């Protein structure tokens, strides 16, 4: 195994420029036509989305998911005066009687909730 690694290291200095541009030590892996550019790194950017409800709004509890186990998502357990509802990756802490939003919570643990 060591002679193979040593031979690859010695051959690595004489590789064509095409293989060096694509980041591979094996020239057959990089198949670039003449005039083609080397692959570039793509970066995705995510635009922040505004929450549909803010503190003080009335939350329509009748059509949304109630979180039954808030501790599973790193949230405090409900004391009965408020409950958690999920909508589009945001968890809302809603007052029980008046359905007023008390807090909008975003975190990695709740981002998948719909």
Say if residue 31 is in the same domain as residue 68.
no
When divided into structural domains, the chain yields a total of 2
Asked whether residue 53 is assigned to any structural domain, the reply reads: no
Question: Which pTM does this prediction carry?
Answer: 0.55
CA distance 79 to 72: 16
Asked whether residue 94 is assigned to any structural domain, the reply reads: yes
Asked whether residue 83 is assigned to any structural domain, the reply reads: yes
Task: Tell me how long the chain is.
Answer: 114
What pLDDT is attached to residue 79? 86
CA distance 2 to 9: 11
Asked whether residue 68 is assigned to any structural domain, the reply reads: yes
Asked whether residue 52 is assigned to any structural domain, the reply reads: no
Say if residue 3 is in the same domain as residue 33.
yes
Tell me the CA distances in angstroms from 14 to 6, 9, 10, 22, one per residue in order.
14, 10, 8, 15
CA distance 15 to 12: 6
Which residues constitute the domain of residue 68?
61-105
Percentage, residues of the chain above pLDDT 70: 60
CA distance 66 to 101: 14
Q: For residue range 17-62, what is the model confidence (pLDDT) as tens digits?
A: 544 566 666 666 665 555 656 667 777 665 666 678 889 999 988 8
Say if residue 38 is in the same domain as residue 73.
no
Say if residue 65 is in the same domain as residue 39.
no
The count of other CB atoms within 10 Å of the CB of residue 75 is 18
The predicted model gives 78-96 an average pLDDT of 89
pLDDT at residue 15 tops 50: no
């Amino acid at each position: 195994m060591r002679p193979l690694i040593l031979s690859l290291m010695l051959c690595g200095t004489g590789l064509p420029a095409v293989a060096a541009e694509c980041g591979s030590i094996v020239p057959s892996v990089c198949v670039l036509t003449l005039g083609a550019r080397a692959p570039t790194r793509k970066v995705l950017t995510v635009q922040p989305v505004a929450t549909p409800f803010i503190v003080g709004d009335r939350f329509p509890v009748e059509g949304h998911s109630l979180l039954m186990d808030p501790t599973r998502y790193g949230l405090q357990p409900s004391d009965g005066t408020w409950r958690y509802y999920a909508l589009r990756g945001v968890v809302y802490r809603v007052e029980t009687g008046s359905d007023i939003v008390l807090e909008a919570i975003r975190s990695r643990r709740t981002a998948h909730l719909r």
